[in-house]
Amino acid sequence: MTIETAIDALRKTLGEKVSTSDAVRDHHGQNESYFAVTLPDAVVFPESTADVQEVVRICAAHACPIVPWGVGTSLEGHALATSGGISLDMSRMDKVLAVHAADMDAIVQPGVTREALNEDLRATGLFFPVDPGANATLGGMAATRASGTTAVRYGTMRENVMAMEVVLADGRAIRVGSRARKSSAGYDLCKLMIGSEGTLGIITELTVRLQGQPEAISAATCTFDSVSAAVEAVQLTIQMGIPMARIEFVDADCIRGFNAYAKTDMPEKPHLFMEFHGTEAGVAEQAERVGEVMSDMGGSAFEWATRAEDRNRLWHVRHNGYYAVKGLRPGCQAVTTDVCVPISRLAEAVEATRADIAASPIEGPILGHVGDGNYHAALLIAPGDAEELKIAKDLAHRMNQRALDMGGTVTGEHGVGLGKKRYMAEEHGDGWAVMGAIKRALDPQNILNPGKVVDLN
Amino acid sequence: MTIETAIDALRKTLGEKVSTSDAVRDHHGQNESYFAVTLPDAVVFPESTADVQEVVRICAAHACPIVPWGVGTSLEGHALATSGGISLDMSRMDKVLAVHAADMDAIVQPGVTREALNEDLRATGLFFPVDPGANATLGGMAATRASGTTAVRYGTMRENVMAMEVVLADGRAIRVGSRARKSSAGYDLCKLMIGSEGTLGIITELTVRLQGQPEAISAATCTFDSVSAAVEAVQLTIQMGIPMARIEFVDADCIRGFNAYAKTDMPEKPHLFMEFHGTEAGVAEQAERVGEVMSDMGGSAFEWATRAEDRNRLWHVRHNGYYAVKGLRPGCQAVTTDVCVPISRLAEAVEATRADIAASPIEGPILGHVGDGNYHAALLIAPGDAEELKIAKDLAHRMNQRALDMGGTVTGEHGVGLGKKRYMAEEHGDGWAVMGAIKRALDPQNILNPGKVVDLN
């Protein structure tokens, strides 16, 4: 009953689907953030639900931890095997199994990335809207309840995953949710599994909602002289009920990073990046109304990106924001934050964060999905510099505390992983103990991504 | 440790908030459906979260069942104390605690009804959109994951409850969810509690999302010569992505009931009742497009209800559909069904149901929230007639089986209660056992609404 005996047993059953090579383990020990490199003992590449069930049964028999892996774009160390054991790489389960155009849904394996799905949908007039920037896998996105630039209009993974197949800690595969658009048939296990970060089950199939390609799309940017004017303009726009498809805040530091990264020449001022979806007339009406709000708040005239290639360039830059911003300090690591507050507190929260970072010795560009009240600072530190790490963590801590004081959350979309667990007791009170009770009931041996989300002791 | 000793202890602590009078117990033993009258041993009227905690602690100490009660509009016998014990009547907890207009949310006690909340919001320009017809309490609506006529546009209670306070089976009060619009902070306990029908905890406070009153509203009806033409027109409308606020199917039998109930003179043909929300221009554009679809499918010209009083009359009739339809057979009981299927299967499902009922000796008008794929038949039977009850249950059974075969659910919005539990194993497979494991973890004594949703044995 050890990790070693588990790996021996896995090899016997799964053969070449199991790797203990240094290169493979090393790849699965990396993360996009500042967490220490942590190698799993082995990496397993399942090709079917039956493979996943086999892996879980063997690991359960040997009490070996299992940590699911998508493409490693997580920012909170979720996919690190911090208790050892195996990394379960879902990349070979990458088929789009069905597209139901009439029902506007698709069934996919967890290793399908959002870009691959949208590529597959190109001829159908449909698209999958959730867009975290990174080309993450849909399994990983569901596991962290991801969202991104379009959540303000289309919702997060919470709203866009209708059903899943999940392998439990004892190897049973269950189906949660259904292809019906709504149901009152018992506890919402689908929503419980979404955001559970691999700690309650391993996602082996997803049914996701699709949207019709809008008849008309237009995108624009608008600059402001101050952070607060930009954010207040967003608050007003949302309160007016204008159905923005995207409304993103990007501060002047970010723009500096974007310009360097993508060779653009945007003015180094706070920006809003916006997109409108609808009928031709509807988009024109939305844009006119938003233009009035922005102008009233001191915003510039809109810089339009009407051609598809201009829009794509705009969002490509935004999507690579994390890497662009890290480019401001070559070789740095980033401590990312991810708070989300009620809209009415947003300008105050962003302004306080801005001032706090400005008073510190490190850089921390701010950007965010402000239509949802969600924003990030990327706190740039030198790798291995303990003092800078402490400064960044203190800044992040104040930002998190501020969000909680305002009735918000310490993570709008990145998840808990390793980085946010210390806040769970404060954010949820006794609710965190209830999460622990559910974990214990579903995974009594604590083999599924142990140490993430909850502490079982 | 009996129900009797529990009631003695409750009386000592809560005094006049506890009633064992026949009249009060009788009122709380009734239901809107065909389930047998089942009196609780006592009724308790808590006035605060602290009262609810006290009740739960006492009942836990005496192993006494607790069955929450809103206003008794449930259709599946959820609120019947089938294992005895107390009915926990939440009607004294009926305060709107806060309205945050800038954040478009409100905090309410569970005994607030949806109409009372909307009355309270009248001056704010905001409204609470979820509309199951009956003037249910918000606590009850959350507990059954209710929806209704507007879910096609605004979502169900699942999408419209942001946070709750819930008293657990051991008396602890926890907060689930937050006022942030999204979060990835751990397991989604808020969504787990929504739809748990009082079996995992007792809702003592809710934070609900509000919507801005649309600038323009218009409503219309349209008649068809056949059920399938009407339903296919809905499928097309939804697939075109037109953001209908309401699109309701009502069959000819229902219209007959409506005409008698409300003294209207609608043609006795299959109808769609529709409502459009948006800007003036947006509503006009939507109506034009939908009109084209309806006309292509053989629908009549629209009968418009543009004035607010005409719209209110239209929706008043629809909202009283259940009672109007029961009026077709004076003194009858109704076995209601509540299936929801993927949109592409809707016309086929409704048509098969229609034919099945037509071939039976009882009446069963059909109506539904067809934009979601959800529809109901009200199977009208003579009270106490065992043969008719069997016929109705057999019809309902075939309808449920058909929905499951099509990838749908046996309950779109009414919940499991007593009536749908027999389908849970088939609908969820081993997932139903997982629900049982969660119930056991959170309520090991099985005192919270025992016998509903799951079976613990």
Spans of all domains in chain B: 3-91, 93-212, 216-323, 329-414, 420-457
Q: Predicted ipTM?
A: 0.97
What are the E-state strand segments in A357-425? 366-369, 374-381
Distance from CA of A207 to the nearest CA of B (A): 12
Round to whole Å and give the CA distance between B269 and A203: 47
Choose the closest CB to B185 out of A173, A372, A410: A410
All residues of chain A having their beta carbon less than 8 Å from the beta carbon of residue B125 are none
Q: Which residues are paired to A429 by β-bridges? A: none
Any idea which fold A331-421 has? Answer: Alpha-Beta Plaits (3.30.70)
For residue B192, with 0-12 CB atoms within 10 Å meaning exposed, 13-18 middle and 19 or more buried, which class applies? buried
Residues 6+ apart with CB under 8 A from A271: A221, A222, A223, A224, A230, A249, A250, A251, A255
Query: In chain B, which among 22-61 make CB contacts under 8 A with chain A?
Result: none
What is the C-alpha to C-alpha distance for residues B316 and A456, in angstroms, rounded to an integer?
52
The CATH topology of domain A3-91 is 3.30.43
**A169, A370, A419, B437 from A88: Cα distances, Å:** 14, 34, 21, 26
pLDDT tens for each residue of chain A, 457 residues long: 799 999 999 999 999 999 999 999 999 999 988 899 999 999 999 999 999 999 999 999 999 999 999 999 999 999 999 999 999 999 999 999 999 999 999 999 999 999 999 999 999 999 999 999 899 999 999 999 999 999 999 999 999 999 999 999 999 999 999 999 999 999 999 999 999 999 999 999 999 999 999 999 999 999 999 999 999 999 899 888 899 999 999 999 999 999 999 999 999 999 999 999 999 999 999 999 999 999 999 999 999 998 889 999 999 999 888 899 999 999 999 999 999 999 999 999 999 999 999 999 999 999 999 999 999 999 999 999 999 999 999 999 999 999 999 999 999 999 999 999 999 999 999 999 999 999 999 999 999 999 999 998 6
Helices (H), A194-271: 227-239, 252-262
Chain B residues touching A180 at Cβ < 8 A? 340-342, 372-374, 403, 407-409, 412
Contact (Cβ atoms closer than 8 angstroms) between residue A99 and residue A120? yes
Reported as a single tens digit per residue, the pLDDT across B266-316 is 999 999 999 999 999 999 999 999 999 999 999 999 999 988 899 999 999
Is some CB atom of chain B closer than 8 A to the CB atom of A435?
A: yes
Tell me the chain A residues in contact with residue B413 when contact means C-beta distances shorter than 8 Å: 182, 184
Q: Does A106 touch chain B (CB under 8 A)?
A: no
The predicted pLDDT at position A179 comes to 97
Q: Which residue has the tokens 């667990």?
A: A421
Residues of A in contact with B173 (CB under 8 A): 430
Asked if the Cβ–Cβ distance from B146 to A182 is below 8 Å, we say no
The answer to whether domain B216-323 and domain B329-414 are alike in fold is: yes
Per 3-state DSSP, chain A is made up of helix, strand and coil in percentages (nearest 5) of: 40, 20, 40
Secondary structure element (H or E) that encloses residue A105, with its range:
strand A105-108
CATH of B216-323, one of 3.30.930.10, 3.40.50.410, 3.40.47.10, 3.30.70.2190: 3.30.70.2190
Supply φ then ψ for residue A9, to 5 degrees. -65, -40
CATH architecture of the domain with residue range B93-212: 2-Layer Sandwich (3.30)
Whole-number mean pLDDT of chain B? 96
For domain B329-414, give its CATH number from 3.30.70.2740, 3.30.465.10, 2.120.10.70, 3.30.365.10: 3.30.70.2740
**Interfacial B residues in 130-169 facing A (CB < 8 Å):** 144-147, 151, 156, 158-159, 168
Count of pairs with CB atoms under 8 A, one residue in A, one in B: 266
Distance CA A344, CA B192 (A): 27
**What does the alpha-carbon distance between residue B119 and residue A85 come to, in Å, rounded to a whole number?**
58
Q: How far apart are CA A142 and CA A78, in angstroms?
A: 13
- Shortest CA gap B75–chain A (Å): 12
Summarize the confidence of residues B201-211 as an average pLDDT. 98
Q: What is the pLDDT of residue A96?
A: 98
Check if A183 contacts B (Cβ < 8 Å). Answer: yes
Answer whether B303's CB lies under 8 Å from B220's CB: yes
In the prediction, which pLDDT does A390 show? Answer: 97
Q: Please, what is the angle between helix B280-296 and helix A280-296, to 10°? A: 170
Average pLDDT over residues B154-169: 98
Q: In angstroms, what separates the C-alpha of A260 from chain B's closest C-alpha?
A: 32
Contact by Cβ (8 Å): A340, A403? yes
Q: How far apart are CA A337 and CA B184, in angstroms?
A: 13
∠ CA A453-A157-A179, nearest 5°, is 120
SS3 call for A153 = helix
Q: What is the CATH T-level fold of the domain A97-212, as seen in this structure?
A: 3.30.465
Q: Are A214 and A282 in contact (CB under 8 A)?
A: no
State residue A235 phi and psi, 5-degree precision: -55, -50
Q: How confident is the model at residue B226 (pLDDT cuts 50, 70, 90)?
A: very high
Distance between first and last Cα of chain A? 19
Q: If pLDDT is split at 50, 70 and 90, which confidence band does B32 have?
A: confident
Task: Please report the residues numbered 237 through 266 in chain A whose beta carbons come closer than 8 angstroms to any beta carbon of chain B.
Answer: 239-241
